[in-house]
């Protein structure tokens, strides 16, 4: 099996290994490895876990206005095979891999292979240097994707838009108050009103508390002149 020039690999990924064999392993596809356990598959498994943890921690620390479900949605987008494959292609990592002749063609190796090698390199860095260099590598490569996912979520989320505005304008966050609920347990409706500092806004009903909060936030944005009834976000009516 041909040995890849280690200096080239390290320059591309921006990390110098204490144990270069870990990088060779990360770039070795199962199609050319003596055994599957000598390929990058085990490192891919580890790197996938490290990748998810780093992105989750970043979301938890820097997107405190998002719910668990919203963070899960963003995390799924950012750590997806498609995103990992795009990053690997941008780095041209696939050109450095050792793999069987049948694995590559004019368009390059399959996306699943390029995504896997990106995760394997994360795993290799984690083994070699610990969490901090792995975190740095992940965030350096994925921050633009994370920023875009957050921006898309914020612009489809009335609560996020309202919180962003009130923090910038008044250095405060909105408060949501449950005013009423009605209906049987299997089909309840909830009335919620939003308050920003000294100002109250029209209440709203929803089939869930979260739906009512979103509608209350939308109505507050309307009152503040930050949203119009024709706004593309407006799907409530």
pLDDT tens digit at each of 237 positions of the chain: 455 577 888 999 999 999 999 999 999 887 877 788 888 999 999 999 999 999 999 999 988 777 788 888 889 989 998 899 999 989 888 778 877 776 655 566 788 888 999 999 999 999 999 999 999 999 999 999 998 888 777 666 788 888 888 988 888 999 999 999 999 988 899 999 999 988 999 999 999 888 899 899 989 999 988 876 655 454 433
CATH code of the domain covering residue 210:
3.30.160.20
The reply to whether the predicted model has a pTM over 0.85 is: no
Domain residues for the domain of 218 are 158-223
Q: Which of 21, 65, 70, 119 is catalytic?
A: 119
Specify if 232 maps to a domain.
no
Task: Decide: 237 and 230 in contact? Cβ < 8 Å.
Answer: no
User: How many structural domains comprise the chain?
Assistant: 2
Specify if 1 maps to a domain.
no
Q: Which of 2, 21, 44, 48 is catalytic?
A: 48
- Asked about 119 being catalytic, the answer comes back as yes
Q: Measure CA of the first residue to CA of the last residue in the chain; give whole Å.
A: 63
């Amino acid at each position: 099996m041909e040995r890849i020039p280690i200096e080239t690999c390290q320059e591309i990924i921006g990390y110098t290994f204490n144990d270069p064999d870990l990088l060779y392993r990360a770039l070795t596809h199962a199609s050319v490895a003596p055994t599957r356990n000598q390929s990058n598959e085990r490192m891919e498994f580890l790197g996938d876990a490290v990748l998810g943890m780093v992105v989750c921690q970043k979301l938890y620390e820097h997107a405190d206005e998002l719910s668990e479900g919203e963070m899960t949605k963003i995390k799924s987008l950012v750590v997806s095979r498609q995103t990992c494959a795009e990053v690997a292609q941008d780095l041209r990592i696939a050109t450095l891999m050792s793999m069987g002749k049948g694995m590559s063609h004019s368009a390059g190796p399959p996306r699943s292979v390029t995504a896997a090698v990106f995760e394997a390199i994360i795993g290799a860095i984690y083994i070699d240097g610990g969490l901090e260099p792995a975190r740095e590598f992940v965030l350096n490569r994925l921050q633009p994707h994370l920023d875009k996912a957050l921006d898309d979520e914020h612009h489809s989320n009335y609560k996020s838009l309202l919180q962003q505005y009130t923090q910038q304008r008044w250095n405060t966050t909105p408060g949501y108050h449950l005013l009423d609920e009605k209906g049987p347990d299997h089909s309840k409706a909830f009335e919620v009103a939003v308050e920003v500092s000294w100002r109250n806004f029209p209440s709203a009903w929803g089939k869930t508390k979260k739906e009512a909060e979103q509608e209350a936030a939308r109505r507050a944005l309307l009152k503040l002149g930050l949203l119009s009834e024709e706004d593309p976000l407006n799907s409530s009516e």
